[in-house]
């Protein structure tokens, strides 16, 4: 796991955007796994800016991590709506290659199976963007999610429902269930890129990076991934025991190559 601690929140966001832009520039037909949540809003603002500066999204294929069960794509709190408003509208992304699970599918589990099969059919995800919940969830894989899980329906914890209440009119509107890529679906991506900012994420970040690999902290499964990059601001990195070590390896969150350090 590569842990990059940037000097501040804005720099952490910019670093993540830079990695995504580099991916799409080098491989315009990349398959991107995309995330939602407040943390990603400024990342998508950077991508829209990059698009205005000439970056084309026309050939990408995308798969979002999750969607609330019961919400149709035009519901303002749906992740379909979030992605259109915050990233895709006004870009040249091809709507036919943008994928999110349908929250309003008559049979949500069948929809989850169809979604998983679609990811496989395009050859898997090149770069999976991730946020982290305060309880260590990734996607909507709540604590005790099987580390071997694939896309399926999950019951949301009350903590997660309350954390997302701000996107709904009132508590009763916050869905109880979501369709989410499973932990194993996420681990199948060729590169996982997780962004966490703010003190509220510090405990979850510690569990993910330094805790035991455990279904109790689903993000800790990333320790098993051969190419996982975790980008943090100082607040989110606050509880890390080996923080100085991560700083030493990647000062200021920049990658340093072993070969450069040991020249001559
Ligand atoms: C939701 C999403 C996650 C996201 C998490 C954190 O639960 N399903 O993908 O990582 O929220 O959201 P925020 O960035 O708003 O803290």
| Domain membership flag for residue 55 | yes
Q: Does 257 map to a domain?
A: no
- pLDDT, residue 90, reads 85
Distance of CA 196 from the midpoint of ligand 1 (Å): 10
141 flagged as catalytic: no
Q: Is 67 an annotated catalytic residue?
A: no
Indicate which residue of 51, 75, 80, 137 is catalytic.
137
Cα–Cα distance between 254 and 250 in angstroms, integer?
Answer: 5
Distance 116 CA to ligand 1 centre (A): 20
Mean pLDDT within 31-40: 97
Whether residue 262 lies inside any domain: the answer is: no
pLDDT at 257: 62
Averaged pLDDT, 98-106: 98
Q: Which of 51, 64, 66, 164 is catalytic?
A: 66
- Identify whether 142 is part of a domain: yes
> Over the stretch 137-194, which tens digit does the pLDDT of each residue have?
999 999 999 999 999 999 999 999 998 999 999 999 999 999 999 999 999 999 999 9
Q: Give yes or no: 66 in active site.
A: yes
CB atoms within 10 A of CB 145: 22
Which numbered atom of ligand 1 lies nearest the CA of 200? 16
The ligand 1 site (C-beta within 6 Å) comprises: 35-39, 65-66, 131-133, 139-140, 160, 164
- Counted domains in the chain: 1
| Residue 123 domain flag | yes
CA-nearest residue, atom 12 of ligand 1? 37
CB-CB contact of 154 with 109 (8 Å)? no
Residue 165 counted as domain residue: yes
Can you give the pLDDT at residue 263?
A: 56
Q: Which domain holds residue 85?
A: 2-250
Please give the torsion angle defined by the CA atoms of residues 198, 200, 203 and 206, in that order, rounded to the nearest 10 degrees.
Answer: -20
Q: Could you tell me the pTM of the whole model?
A: 0.95
CATH of the domain at 204: 3.40.50.1360
In a domain, 255, yes or no: no
Ligand 1 pocket, mutate which of 137, 198, 203 (most atoms under 8 A from CB)? 137
* Residue 120 appears among annotated catalytic residues: no
Half-sphere exposure of 90 (CA within 13 A, CB side): 13
Confidence at residue 156, expressed as pLDDT on a 0 to 100 scale: 96
> Does some domain include residue 260?
no
Query: Does residue 262 carry a pLDDT above 60?
Result: no
């Amino acid at each position: 796991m590569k842990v990059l601690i940037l000097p501040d929140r804005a720099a952490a966001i910019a670093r993540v955007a830079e990695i995504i832009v580099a991916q799409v520039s080098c491989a315009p037909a990349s398959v991107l796994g995309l995330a939602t949540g407040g943390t990603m809003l400024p990342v998508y603002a950077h991508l829209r800016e990059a698009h205005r500066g000439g970056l084309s999204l026309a050939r990408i294929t995308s798969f979002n991590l999750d969607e609330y069960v019961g919400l149709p794509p035009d519901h303002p709190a749906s992740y379909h709506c979030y992605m259109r408003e915050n990233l895709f509208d006004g870009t040249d992304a091809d709507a036919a290659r943008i994928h999110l699970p349908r929250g309003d599918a008559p049979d949500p589990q069948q929809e989850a199976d169809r979604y998983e099969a679609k990811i496989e059919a395009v050859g898997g995800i090149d770069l999976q963007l991730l946020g982290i919940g305060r309880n260590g969830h990734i996607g909507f894989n709540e604590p005790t999610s099987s580390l071997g899980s694939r896309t399926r329906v999950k019951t949301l914890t009350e903590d997660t429902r309350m954390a997302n209440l701000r996107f709904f009119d009132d508590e009763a509107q916050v869905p109880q269930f979501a369709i989410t890529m499973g932990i194993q679906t996420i681990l199948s991506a060729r590169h996982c890129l997780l962004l966490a900012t703010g003190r509220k994420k510090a405990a979850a970040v510690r569990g993910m990076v330094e805790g035991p690999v455990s279904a109790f902290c689903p993000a800790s499964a990333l320790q098993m991934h051969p190419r996982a990059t975790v980008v943090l601001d100082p607040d989110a990195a606050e509880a890390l025991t080996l923080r100085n070590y991560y700083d030493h390896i990647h000062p200021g969150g920049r990658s340093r190559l072993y070969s450069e350090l040991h020249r001559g």
